[in-house]
Chains A and B, each alone.
Chain A
Amino acid sequence: MQCHFTVYRFNPQADKKPRYHEYRIDAEPTDKILDCLNKIRWEQDATLAFRSSCAHGICGSDALMINGRVELACQKLVRDFKTGNNFVIEPLPLFEVVKDLIVDLEPFFEKYRQVQPYLKPGKNDSDKEFIQQAENQEFIEPALRCILCASCTAGCPINRANPDYLGPAALLRAFRYIFDSRDSITEERLERIDTEDGIWGCKTMWWCTEVCPKEIPITKCLGQIKRAVKQKDKGG
């Protein structure tokens, strides 16, 4: 069937300002939006730029806006939309456009690096694995689903207002280590983010949870951090 794509185009090196380009393609209801973009590139316009790799929602390359909503292009099918086969495709908000649908994610990863995203293990008395209770592993499990696609951070209104806010993805990674029973610097981790640009930047707007393609209850996880920070402040 015929689908109509309106796609954001901008090459900062050559263009004064962004424009929208219209493409008509034949697509199946079961085609992914990523398939459609590939079709446009392979058959009509080789200059269209976007990222992709795994094509099944696991690498996090192709977060962008479809009809005004942040989505993974490879995880949405044509039939998932009730917009009469009309699609508007735009880059992620918040980040600077490098070309067309490709944005510069360096600021996103910079925030991520700030939360010490690695285990600082306590002492392991065994020469084998750390013993970790299954419940503890399950508690941090939601955060393990994160594919670093940046959808949540791009969709968060606080991030737009305050560029210094760590943002949901970085805080979710902090959650993953704060609550990992094998980690030894919980206090330090909590202290680090006990700031307005840290965990208190989150005003529980739920937008991140709403857009996360891996259905991670981000806002809830951030709530757990807030509770832990308060506990620490009470000295308990």
Chain B
Amino acid sequence: MKHQYDVIIVGAGLAGLRAAVEIGKDAHVAVLTKVFATRSHSGAAQGGIGAALGNEEEDHCEWHMFDTVKGSDYLGDQDAIEILANDAPRAIYELENLGVPFNRTSEGKIAQRAFGGHTRNYGEAPVKRACYAATRTGRVILDTLWEQSLQRGIEFFDEFQMLSLIGQDGQCCGVVAYELSTGKLHTFHCKAVMLATGGAGKIYKTTSNAFASTGDGMAIAYRAGAPLEDMEFVQFHPTGIYKLGILISEAARGEGGILLNNEGERFMERYAPVIKDLAPRDMISRCMLEEMRAGRGIDGKDYFHLSLTHLGEDVIEKKLAEITSFARTYAGVDPVKEPIPVQPTCHYMMGGIATDADGRVIVDEQNTPFAGLYAAGECACVSVHGANRLGCNALLDTLVFGRRAGMALKAFNQSVARPKLPAKPEKNDADTIQALMNSTGKETSGPIRAELQESMMENVSVFRQKDSLNTALAKIAQLKKRYQNLSIQDKGNCFNRDLLDAIELGHLLDLAEVITRGALHREESRGAHSREDFPERDDKTFLAHTLARYDAVKGPQIFTKPVTLTKFEPKERTY
């Protein structure tokens, strides 16, 4: 089936919806999403969204900018970070005016709380910058933006999965998508496509991410020629529930929770004397692993205690509602009375499809745009998070740059005609599906995926070194070979998860390879990327973005792009 629009947005998380709301009736737009819009993973965001409103105490956008630059270990582009921090208050007031039900101060203003790495006066002490709705901040924003989209009459294609991008005359002009309920292929012909497909946490065994977080947009854009930027920077959040990876938001520490080792010691005091348990995530995750190696994990194992008991029932039940129920349901502990067992969990991709600050996908170090292709949110890399993202900045990123992409799309739509559709745009995907369905190979996706996730967890997580990275690369190559022998058990065409699992696994394999190649290339330690064989940051050689270009034969081709520095010179990063 063929459809015609001006703009196709792929993804109905906050980034996609914010762009859709921006475009509204100014262009003929449709949103495709593989899970029903309100099931998007943005809904899982708990703790808050950062903006220097100063509702609780003095705060300034420039402080926010500085914290983000420092948090990024100086790899974030400072021009883009300045946009993020300066636009944040506007973005929050706008959300509030659209109906987002934030928690309130006693004066009826938006309430704010402390979050990791957010400080007053360039690092003096934690500052209350996170706007929140209990621990369901992402959910209420997602619901509000979805409802705003309904009100504006935006068309949704729910449970439609993008398989590939269509290009003609050097311009992206459409999407091929698979309809989950019928197995039919649809061609969406348009002037521009925006990718807002979210993260790829499913590359790792332990993750806070949803089943849908398989990096489809990143992998599909990469194969279409868009370079991926800074993929080696993968955030491990320090407080996932032990063995499950379900997130216990940093808000728990923002409200005063503390991390304890097996001696009952608040160990972060030793590593970050000023902001302690509110140090950035890369640092706390590293400290946890070091404590573990020193035999100070709980019961000598690989987890720690997150203690909230001193906060009192009222704070725990009211301000940390969701995570309290997660601890009770899944870990069987009551945070009012006992500590929660936690360990680092794969949480966020700092890297992604390289874009400029208006959501345009770029193809080289000169920022040459990929005509007709846009991206924002977790699948994109502007870069505002550099080597390590601060809590509360991801939601902000989706809103600020989702809106900017929306504005750029409107202008682009005015300026170009719709390119002709190439002949048989869905043929490639139809052939791939046919081949998979007819294959008599001996492999299935489950074991390949599990082995990939385990190898990445073991070799390419918080600490890395040359040998472990090479082990992972060899494993990925071997799994890619086995992938060629994949067959599909489900021969039906209605909600054929087996087929979609296989397609998504192809994306995970490609992205794992890019992450590992980038990590090998970067012979230094910066932010979330810690090379045990290169423990220092090396600004002389590596104060640069890693870009990876697809090459079907040779694998990812790495090149670099300088970091934009404006206000803040790189300094040693202590907290």
Residues of A within 8 A of B (CB): 11, 13-14, 30, 32, 41-43, 45-47, 49, 51-61, 75, 77, 98-100, 102, 105, 113, 117-119, 121, 124, 127-134, 136-137, 140-141, 144-145, 147-148, 176-177, 180, 182
Contacts and interface: CB of A to CB of B under 8 A. Distances in A.
Contacts of A113: 150
8 contacts: A43-B446, A54-B210, A61-B36, A99-B494, A119-B144, A132-B104, A141-B134, A182-B99
Which secondary structure characterizes the binding site on chain A?
loop
B495 A58 contact: no
User: What 8 A-B pairs come out closest when comparing CB atoms?
Assistant: A119-B99, A46-B489, A131-B108, A42-B446, A46-B498, A134-B104, A59-B39, A49-B495
A118 B212 CA distance: 27
Contacts of A53: 35, 39, 41, 210-212
B123 interface: no
Interface stretch (B322-330, B357-365, B381-389, B391-399): B322-330
B139 interface: yes
B375 to A, nearest CB: 21
A11 B494 contact: yes
A127 B325 CA distance: 37
Contact of B497 (A41, A54, A56): A41
Contacts of A46: 444, 488-490, 497-498
A75 B157 CA distance: 28
Contacts of B41: 53-54, 59
Contacts, number: 149
B492 A47 contact: yes
Contacts of A41: 497-498
Given A11-B494, A127-B93, A56 B39 contact: no
Contacts of A32: 330
Nearest to A41: B497
B125 interface: no
A121 B110 contact: no
Contacts of A59: 35, 38-41, 43-44, 210
B569 interface: no
B105 A54 contact: no
A159 to B, nearest CB: 20
A42 B498 CA distance: 8
A99 B493 CA distance: 11
A115 B53 CA distance: 33
B98 interface: yes
B136 interface: yes
A180 B136 CA distance: 18
Interface in B76-119: 92-93, 96-99, 101-111
Contacts of B105: 134
Contacts of A61: 35-36, 39
A58 B44 contact: yes
B93 A129 contact: yes
A134 B492 CA distance: 52
B465 interface: no
